[in-house]
Chain A
Amino acid sequence: MKKIYFSLLIIACFYSCSKDLEKYPLDAPSTATFPKTESEMKAALIGCFAPLNFRFQENPYIIWMDMYSDIAANRDNTPNSLWGMPTAGNVNNFWNSFYTVISRCNFLLDNFGRIEGASQKTVLETEATARFLRAYSYSVLTQLFGDVPLVTKTLSLSEAYVSRDSKSKVVDFILEELDKAAENLPDNNQPNTMVVAKVAAWGLASRVALYNERWSKAIEAANKVISTEGKQVLLNNNYEAITQRAGKTSKEVIWAIQFNYNDIFHETPLSFRSRMAGGFSNRIPVQALIDSYECIDGLPIDKSPLYNPQKPFENRDPRLGKSIALPGSIYYGYQFETNKDSLQCWNYNVNPPIRVPNLDATHNFASFSGYCWRKYADPTEQHASRSDINPIVIRYAEILLNYAEAKIESDQLDNEIYNAINKIRLRAGIPIISAGKTKQQLRSIVRKERKIELAGEGLRYFDIIRWKIAEKLLEGPCYGRIPRGYLSSAPSIDENGTPDYSLVSNNSQMRIIQTRTFVAGANYLWPIPDIEMQTNKNLKQNPGY
């Protein structure tokens, strides 16, 4: 009997087991049918957005990018060390993140045929959004790398060894795609959502066209945005609020990368805040930015009678104190003072205020420049390592400046230019520009205005690259304040708003935060990532790397 049982058992086992080798994932659908339904389509679109939350250390990439430029510094690295080598991590990160967005958009755009039962409107809107995201990704890639492979459909491995397409071909594609996208994107600008509105497509088109000197296209696209003023876009009367939590829903914001407090947040305040406020003061504005702000009379500090070197922060463009924590101001409830002799400061967070040891003068995590950012650092946030502020990609003030610059560069020196610039200056609270300026003067005005208005918002680096002034601005020492005093006189300010300290008598006392380097023959473009060069032999490296 035992024999029979034994045999039966063995047979049963042999029979049942080999079928058991068919195992497929239990928690995810197969790629063969995806996306099948309207909700899968929506999920696929969210998948396209997701890589845009990428960040460098504490900062989303938008906020990080100003530290590549002349107006800000990153304590740990010079700009060149972040992107000036094919092996640099930032180079890889931009390349990978944006090609990930592109490939996900391509997959979605290739497979709309699979979707069943979705409303026509939703399908068209989703398709337009994917086109927008893909165009945006290419706009960043071309601006950084120049010529890049233009991949517009899902590639198999054998097709993936692509070569680079010319920048102008990619730009043509971006602008065409944005036109297509704008047709089906919704009218309503809803800045604190993932909805991409028509104004975003036009706004991005105006930027891409401007960056690529296609003036008429830039003017046309910017004009479309401007025509919705009051309905879809609006300058926020409270300049300070735009880059703070209160500004998340402001109609000045045209498109922003979305974060929240609980799930996908960033830690920008940790890297921005002063030491007293519990931060590392690691990413900071530098002296060259402080001195570019005009005086309240609309004159640069080397020209204005209102500028007092002993009290350098008085009578200045109000945006200075709104964008930057200045010595002597209150920052997160503490007296912010970075003079190395100020060993104590006020703590206003307790009542009555008390004197406490001033870490911003003594600590190794105190700001090297003596300044901190107020933009993207909001005293109402609950904690330094959780910020839900949305880094703004495009806002209305930029569109007005894009418009003005394109008009100036294409010699259409009409009133519209003054209107656009003065809207921004009026909101800022400084004198408007009076008519009758030459092209040279207007160019200088618009460049200075971009530097001040958009400081700390991730556009400065692109500006100094396209204006071909980076070789001057990113070469040599990057200065912070004089640790135990102020500059004895105003530096001279050039047509781009760049200060020159060579005639300031105590310039040798300025703190050198870092010594930078920029090679004109190479650094106007980033290198293609080393690993990509090694993997894909059809790519050619940019010159000088």
Chain B
Amino acid sequence: MSYKPFDFLTGKLSYAPSYSQPNVTSFVKVIKTYDVNGGLRFTLPAVNTMDQSTAIDKSNQLEGTLTFLKNYSKHQIGALAGYQYLSSSNSGFSAFRDGFLFEDYPILSGGSSSNMKNNGYASEWTLLSYFGRVNYSFDQKYLFEANLRHDGSSRFAKENRWGTFPSFSAGWRISQEKFMADIKEAVNELKLRISWGRLGNQEIGSNYPFAPTVSLSPKYISNDLIQNGAAILNMANTDISWETTEMSDIGFDAKLFRHINLVFDYYYKKTHGILLELSIPKTMGVFAPFQNAGIVENKGWDLQIGYNDVDHPFKYGINFTLSDVKNKVLDIKGIQQTGTLVAREGHPLNSLYLFKSSGLLSTNDFNQDGTYKYAKQFGKIAPGDIRYADIKEDGIINGDDREVLGSTIPRFTYSLSLNTEYRGFDFSAFLQGVGKRDGYLVGNAIQPFLFSGTAYEYQKNRWTKDNPDPNSVFPRLAFGETNNTQLSDFWMKSAAYLRIKNIQLGYTTPHKLLKSIGVSELRFFVSGENLFSFDKFWKGWDPEIDAVSNGAYYPQVKTFNFGINLKF
């Protein structure tokens, strides 16, 4: 509802409740496989099962604003004050049975009652915000805006609940200035922008990270029956509070020679108090709490250039975007993560933390008696195995010799889109790519015969006694040995790519042909998705695969469409 006591003042109040009750039923049937002689081979899963769950998700959103807007000759002043109340609660229960005698009747009562289970849950959170905004513009040339938010979240303990987040921005439309009038034909529009702001984030996975609680999830068995237990699983952290990001941006928008659009931004973003689950000694026996520990910066820029010409029968438009961001962890309280993807000070988030490899071993690296001459590596080694650099120079290759050797955050992402039209024919294409990214596959992609599996064609290019090529792509085949399966940069590959995501060609028949049969538009088209990609990644693998995965999920598909659009 809104209320307008004066013509420069508007009050608005809105209430948006939402209620949803998703009901999910899933039934898993037993699949049996037989051998050629009709003998039963496998029964998977062991028994049929059914899960039925009902959830109640409720949310309330209440928002009130007061808006002021007034013009005094060339001055335009606007102001807004408001508050917002957001609450959400989720609860639900589920029921389970297995051993259904008749799979075609998936109703809970049809299952065996000997192993029936049920479960329930509930959680809630609230966010309360007060906010205000003032904007002022003079003669459509100088623009200013200031914002202030004050947010309170139920996810933090009382002392740390509230956060204040201001932001400011200013713009200058240079093209409106008198001194630009002479070149108005060339520079149709030019606007300079500058802004600074601070934002807060409360989304940290758990709804109650500050509250030390006892979990009821641990279970044990006694007498073949389940026993419900309780334990403290997580250490709580009452000091937890908002994660804040400060962002400065400078940029311009321009329109040149009526056809060229140009947008450029440079930004600097610094996030404080990133909520990270920092390592605590495992001797404590609980999971680490989230802590407001990290400081991460992002420096980046975005560029968009477009050229559009629609004044002639041959209409076309080209749009190109290019952006880059440099991510750097400035502080994570000295914690040294040791996984393969790590956040380490001075390096980007999700850096690859690996052993440094330096080629393959040859017989020259071994003494007469077969012992290896240099720093001790992993397990049994032989010519053709990967050599690792002893970074710490202590005569043994171990965890301390790993370094940040790659980054999985894409740099120089770009795209190009093209649209043309001529006498009913239209053609469009969309290309997309990443200029720099380190890709890393694990599992079967780099280990032939892993888990008694198979080997890929490209894995044949390996070091053998008959072909002791030090530049082989794969080292000596050492099944069940450890040296060559260490996570090292030997297996890191550039995941930069250029991909033709989409091409479409269409033809729209002229109106006059169709009017007589009552059709207003008829268009034929062919299109293709993911048609080609160009990369230097492992052959046959998608360079967009998450780093440090074995890529075992449904891949992107190449699709072709032929179609007819008909409008009456």
Chain A residues engaging chain B, CB cutoff 8 angstroms: 2-3, 6, 9-10, 13-14, 17-18, 20-32, 34-35, 40, 43-53, 75-78, 80-81, 84-87, 92, 95-96, 99-104, 106-107, 149, 151, 155, 157, 160-162, 192-195, 258-264, 278, 280, 347, 349-350, 354, 356-357, 364-365, 382-383, 385-386, 388, 513-517, 529-536, 544-545
Contacts and interface: CB of A to CB of B under 8 A. Distances in A.
B231 A104 contact: yes
B227 interface: yes
Contacts of B121: 27
A3 B35 contact: no
B232 A263 contact: no
Closest 6 CB pairs of A and B: A103-B285, A46-B229, A47-B231, A383-B46, A50-B218, A514-B480
**Most chain A Cβ neighbours within 10 Å, of B44, B46, B123:** B46
A531 B235 contact: no
A513 B480 contact: yes
Contact of A194 (B155, B227, B399): B227
Nearest to B162: A21
A43 B479 CA distance: 46
B279 interface: yes
Given A99-B282, A515-B481, A535-B280, A18 B128 contact: yes
B228 interface: yes
**Most chain A Cβ neighbours within 10 Å, of B85, B87, B223:** B223
A535 B128 contact: no
Contacts of B338: 87, 530-531, 534
A535 B481 contact: no
A80 B379 contact: yes
A161 B482 CA distance: 32
A532 B282 contact: yes
Interface stretch (B205-213, B433-441, B467-475): B205-213
A536 B336 CA distance: 11
Contacts of A34: 214, 230, 232
A465 B155 CA distance: 50
**Most chain A Cβ neighbours within 10 Å, of B43, B121, B128, B221:** B221
Given A32-B212, A103-B284, A161-B281, A20 B229 contact: no
Contacts of A96: 282
Given A3-B3, A17-B85, A263-B219, A30 B482 contact: no
A383 B337 CA distance: 41
Nearest to A16: B85
B284 to A, nearest CB: 5
**Most chain A Cβ neighbours within 10 Å, of B39, B46, B378, B480:** B480
A357 B452 CA distance: 20
Contacts of B41: 278
A260 B229 contact: no
Contacts of B453: 364
Contacts of A388: 224
B281 A160 contact: yes
Nearest to A475: B380
A102 B225 CA distance: 24
A455 B285 CA distance: 32
Given A80-B482, A99-B282, A515-B480, A354 B37 contact: yes
A104 B230 CA distance: 10
A535 B398 contact: no
Interface string B350-385: 000000000000000000000000000011100000
Contacts of A95: 282
21 contacts: A17-B128, A21-B128, A22-B154, A27-B122, A29-B230, A34-B214, A34-B232, A44-B229, A76-B450, A100-B286, A194-B220, A259-B221, A278-B42, A280-B452, A354-B37, A357-B36, A357-B37, A382-B47, A388-B224, A517-B379, A534-B338
B561 interface: no
Contacts of B45: 385
A515 B380 contact: yes
B222 A102 contact: no
B226 A264 contact: yes
A262 B336 CA distance: 41
B43 A383 contact: yes
**Most chain B Cβ neighbours within 10 Å, of A24, A162, A388:** A24
Nearest to A161: B281
B13 interface: yes
A43 B208 contact: no
A280 B5 CA distance: 79
Contacts of B83: 13-14, 17
A533 B87 CA distance: 43
Interface residues of B, number: 92
A219 to B, nearest CB: 32
Contacts of A193: 222-223
A173 to B, nearest CB: 15
A54 to B, nearest CB: 12
Given A28-B215, A262-B98, A347-B37, 6 more contacts: A17-B126, A20-B85, A49-B220, A75-B451, A81-B379, A516-B379
B197 to A, nearest CB: 24
Contact of B452 (A162, A365, A515, A544): A365
Given A10-B13, A81-B482, A24 B398 contact: no
A85 B398 contact: yes
Contact of A25 (B5, B123, B153, B285): B123
A45 B229 contact: yes
A515 B380 CA distance: 7
Contacts of A151: 283
Contacts of B231: 44, 47-48, 50, 104, 107
B159 to A, nearest CB: 12
B85 A43 contact: no
Contacts of B106: none
A101 B286 CA distance: 10
Contacts of A347: 37, 39
Given A13-B85, A85-B399, A258 B222 contact: yes
Contact of A78 (B126, B286, B480): B480
A313 to B, nearest CB: 26
Interface string B380-401: 1000000000000000101100
A195 B213 CA distance: 27
A25 B207 CA distance: 8
A75 B64 contact: no
A264 B220 contact: yes
B215 A75 contact: no
A529 B161 CA distance: 37
A467 B62 CA distance: 73
A517 B39 contact: no
B214 A30 contact: yes
Nearest to A347: B39
Contacts of A3: 3, 5
B216 A28 contact: yes
Contacts of B36: 356-357
B227 A46 contact: yes
A535 B279 contact: yes
Given A23-B125, A49-B229, A263-B226, A9 B13 contact: yes
